[in-house]
Amino acid sequence: MDYILKDSKTFQMYVMIDLYYAGLQNIQDELSKRNKRTPIEIMIDKVSGFEKKQTKELIIYAISFVKKIIKLKKKIKADYSNDEKMLNELLILNN
């Protein structure tokens, strides 16, 4: 694994990885908010198909973020095995 302050490019890659993880956290927060809805809100979302469509979009964003994290971690020679596991689980959910 490259030292974070090795050069500006390496530092930028670490920053980008952190930003993608922050994006994943935002997705998780959005999904958590759904558990706090009223039964009528849940019913309306299910009937309209809104919830399914929105969840699919969030999964696609998450897949994109994790792929970018893996790509950056490969460049800095960091361990990305857990990220690959997460990617595989997201791909299963996307099918």
CA distance 59 to 74: 22
DSSP code, position 6 = S
Q: Is residue 88 part of a domain?
A: yes
Comparison of pLDDT for 63 and 9, the residue scoring more: 63
Comparison of pLDDT for 19 and 30, the residue scoring more: 19
Structural domain range at position 31: 8-94
Q: Is the pLDDT of residue 75 over 90?
A: yes
Q: Is residue 20 part of a domain?
A: yes
Total-model pTM:
0.84
CA distance 61 to 46: 21
Residue pair 51/45 in contact (Cβ under 8 Å)? The answer is yes
Q: Is residue 15 part of a domain?
A: yes
Q: Is residue 2 part of a domain?
A: no
- Look up residue 90 and give its amino acid: L
Residue 32: pLDDT band (50, 70, 90) is: confident
Count Cβ atoms below 10 Å from residue 26 Cβ, excluding itself: 14
DSSP code, position 4 = T
Q: Is residue 3 part of a domain?
A: no
Q: Is residue 64 part of a domain?
A: yes
pLDDT of residue 6: 74
Q: Is the pLDDT of residue 87 over 90?
A: yes
Question: How many domains, the chain?
Answer: 1
